[in-house]
Amino acid sequence: MKNLVILIGRIASQPETRHAGETEITGFTLVTDRPKLVDGKTVKNEAGYTETLAEFHRITAFNGLGASVAKHKKKGDLVEVQGRLHYSKWTDKEGIERYAVEIVAEEVLFL
């Protein structure tokens, strides 16, 4: 069994770092594009180029990896993220169950 995600995209938000005890946690949003489909076919614009839809992914990197991303990368930079999907479930203050998904980065390549 394997939980592996590989994304190539641009950093959509400035990486932000926080601390939980001795653990350094850096989070940022990565944006990727996918072809726009209608009735199973890609949509082309007037110039003949394929139209795309943006998808936004929450990325979390820990300790040294996160510190490196926060130090050297900024909004708009192109990166490849390799990691795994992580699902969270919690109950908020109003008693409503909430869910979230993020990619926990194991490697971030600066492109």
What pLDDT is stored for residue 107 in this prediction?
97
User: Considering only CA atoms, which of 76, 75, 67 is closest in space to residue 108?
Assistant: 67
Round to whole Å and give the CA distance between 53 and 31. 10
Query: Per residue in 10-58, pLDDT tens?
Result: 999 999 999 999 999 999 999 999 999 999 999 999 999 999 999 999 9
Query: Per residue in 56-77, pLDDT tens?
Result: 999 999 999 999 999 999 999 9
The three-class DSSP label of residue 71 is: helix
CA distances (Å), origin 84, targets 3, 7, 53, 75: 5, 11, 23, 22
Q: Beta partners for 11?
A: 30
